[in-house]
Amino acid sequence: MPDAPKKLRSAQWFGPADKNGFMYRSWMKNQGIPDHEFDGRPIVGICNTWSELTPCNAHFRKIAEHVKRGISEAGGFPVEFPVFSNGESNLRPTAMLTRNLASMDVEEAIRGNPIDAVVLLTGCDKTTPALLMGAASCDIPAIVVTGGPMLNGKLEGRDIGSGTAVWQLHESLKAGEIGLHQFLAAEGGMSRSAGTCNTMGTASTMACMAEALGTSLPHNAAIPAVDARRYVLAQMSGARAVAMAREGLTLSKILTREAFENAIRVNAAIGGSTNAVIHLKAIAGRIGVELELEDWTRIGRGTPTIVDLMPSGRFLMEEFYYAGGLPAVLRRLGEAGLLPHPDALTVNGHSLWDNVREAPSYNDEVIRPLDRPLMDDGSIRILRGNLSPRGAVLKPSAATPELLQHRGRAVVFEDFDHYKQRIGDESLEVDASSVLVMKNCGPRGYPGMAEVGNMGLPPKLLRQGIKDMVRISDARMSGTAYGTVVLHVAPEAAAGGPLAAVRDGDWIELDCEAGRLHLDISDEELAARLAALAAPAEAVPAAAKARGGYQRLYIDHVLQADEGCDFDFLVGCRGAEVPRHSH
């Protein structure tokens, strides 16, 4: 057990019997807090991303109430506070633009306030990395409580998955297989309860990552949002946060290099989202752990995907929980020697392995045995070559196996608007072997690196029954999406990356086995084309630059995808030393 801290941070606010102590206590008392609660007990913050504009987190006030019960029960003093809420479904141009903003909010709120430990209420995609990044930069005791996934979506008697159903139904609509009425009828049934996307999209992936990293109690990732056991877990997490404050169990004792290696292995086993590559790098950067793109190859390669969830497989998060949830996956990996660091410490003070060694499995269709996986090697592929000198990623479990080795001619879109204008053009020179290439959708170019990388196929090919094509961009894609999609090309086009030089008709080679992405032109030709392009600073959309405000800060400071898209000035841990008095 780690050494207990000598003195709680909050004592520097509420401890002294002087003018400052008076002021800190007096104003808090206007909330009806009695004298005896200022007796030095741990003050536990509940960092809440509740918002009605983040539907996935709209039930968080109820979750916070249960966390409070746990904190009070364990002898702590709960204080709930709001932070910027990144809602994936409503925020434009993309919730990724404000992930770093939210992380700054979290960091400054924690450090500047009388907080000894913090419970991070996370749900919708970006809320998990944003809160972990902010808390990691402070390095205080922190525990993640996820809001939980929605119940299975329902349409005409069958299950449909969040996001994934939208992509599928939209393709059916464009192919003329269903009508607009049928398409729109799916809206209500797809999102029919509180919670996050019920597929293995980014929210579920990041919830699994938080659990695999050891930052949450077991089962946090999968319990449905409306299942009473979600609220039990919230209460237990609140109680545990009080103990963590007393023990001094700070995030840096949990978020070690070993923890990240466990998470990378788990991502392959669950068929997790490509977004995890960016978010884990950003979290690691905040706590001071070195993580490289090649770690995804070194640690992930050869790991079977055993969780059969959409978009890669058949089921949804409800079945995942009923089948045993992440503990069952961790046990299977551990028993096969595939958990790199079973002894990694978790928030409950036990090792990851101690938490799962007896975890039951109830359904081998949902959580498959290792000898009958969904995919033999489900690890996210890192692709390098003259088109992506600083890397690109592809998720093979969501791709078409026959396209993982492919050579085709580029059909180029200069940006997302150009793609939208051109993709429906019946005279577009494109066939199933073409490679769709989109530029200027990266961190600086969009700005915010929107989830537009899974470009819909040309309608004329959809009508021919074509279901997948190789697509390449500097964008991200939703974790709920699928296809043979190369993402996160770095450097991005707007930062002068070679992607900017691709022209219609160029030959491109994708070799996922070899980890290669190659533009088939000579080095001299590539250099000449890049030299003829505008300087990278000029390539950033002028309108985005001129807008000023936060977007300007973002464009000027965002790092590339291989570096986690954090701001250059936010990388690192700045600790939680108590700032000087405010008065």
Residues that bind Mg ion (CB under 5 A): 88, 125, 201-202, 478
DSSP strand pairing (392-394 vs 405-413): unpaired
Closest separation between CB of residue 542 and ligand FES, Å? 31
What residue 224 binds from Mg ion, ligand FES, none (CB within 5 to 8 A, per partner kind)? none
Q: Which residue has the tokens 């090309």?
A: 489
Site for ligand FES in 48-67 (CB under 6 A): 56
What residue 89 binds from Mg ion, ligand FES, none (CB within 5 to 8 A, per partner kind)? ligand FES
The verdict on 201 binding ligand FES (CB under 6 A) reads yes
The verdict on 165 binding ligand FES (CB under 6 A) reads no
- Cβ neighbours of 188 (radius 10 Å): 11
Residue 559 CB-half CA count within 13 A: 18
Of 341 and 476, the one with the shorter C-beta distance to Mg ion is: 476
Any idea of the CA torsion for 371, 372, 376, 377, to the nearest 10 degrees? -90
The rounded distance, in Å, linking the Cα atoms of 71 and 236 is: 8
What residue 517 binds from ligand FES, Mg ion, none (CB within 5 to 8 A, per partner kind)? none
Closest separation between CB of residue 528 and Mg ion, Å? 39
Closest separation between CB of residue 86 and ligand FES, Å? 9
For the record, the structure tokens of 296 come out as 């995804």
Closest separation between CB of residue 539 and Mg ion, Å? 27
The verdict on 164 binding ligand FES (CB under 6 A) reads no
Of 124 and 194, the one with the shorter C-beta distance to ligand FES is: 124
For the record, the structure tokens of 314 come out as 């058949």
534 by DSSP, 3-state: which?
coil
Of 273 and 303, the one with the shorter C-beta distance to Mg ion is: 273
Of 97 and 197, the one with the shorter C-beta distance to ligand FES is: 197
Q: Which residue has the tokens 């706590």?
A: 287
Of 435 and 477, the one with the shorter C-beta distance to Mg ion is: 477
Residue type, 318: E
For the record, the structure tokens of 148 come out as 């939980």
Closest separation between CB of residue 132 and ligand FES, Å? 16
**Residue from 63, 115, 117, 124 in contact with ligand FES (CB under 6 A):** 124
Closest CA to 324 of 293, 296, 364, 295: 364
Cα distance between the two ends of the chain: 38
Site string for ligand FES, 366-405 (x = CB under 6 A): ----------------------------------------
Inter-residue contact 487 to 453 (CB < 8 Å): yes
Of 186 and 203, the one with the shorter C-beta distance to ligand FES is: 203
For the record, the structure tokens of 539 come out as 């390539």
For residue 162, give the DSSP letter: T
Site for ligand FES in 443-462 (CB under 6 A): none
The residues with which 517 forms a beta bridge, in sequence order, are: 510
What residue 56 binds from ligand FES, Mg ion, none (CB within 5 to 8 A, per partner kind)? ligand FES
Residue 123 φ then ψ, to 5°: -160, -90
Any idea of the CA torsion for 314, 318, 321, 326, to the nearest 10 degrees? 50
Closest separation between CB of residue 436 and ligand FES, Å? 25
Q: Which residue has the tokens 């599928």?
A: 168
The rounded distance, in Å, linking the Cα atoms of 267 and 243 is: 29
**Residue from 107, 125, 308, 451 in contact with ligand FES (CB under 6 A):** 125
Prior bond of 114 cis (ω within 30°): no
The verdict on 196 binding ligand FES (CB under 6 A) reads yes
**Residue from 96, 203, 222, 462 in contact with ligand FES (CB under 6 A):** 203
Of 188 and 369, the one with the shorter C-beta distance to ligand FES is: 188
The rounded distance, in Å, linking the Cα atoms of 46 and 27 is: 19
Inter-residue contact 489 to 473 (CB < 8 Å): yes
DSSP strand pairing (77-82 vs 117-122): unpaired
Closest separation between CB of residue 68 and ligand FES, Å? 24
The rounded distance, in Å, linking the Cα atoms of 230 and 125 is: 18
The verdict on 208 binding ligand FES (CB under 6 A) reads no
Range in contact with ligand FES (rule: CB under 6 A) among 68-76, 195-203, 409-417, 449-457: 195-203
Range in contact with ligand FES (rule: CB under 6 A) among 194-202, 229-237, 319-327, 538-546: 194-202
**Residue from 38, 41, 88, 121 in contact with ligand FES (CB under 6 A):** 88
Task: Give residues in contact with ligand FES (CB under 6 A).
Answer: 56, 88-89, 124-125, 162, 196-197, 201, 203
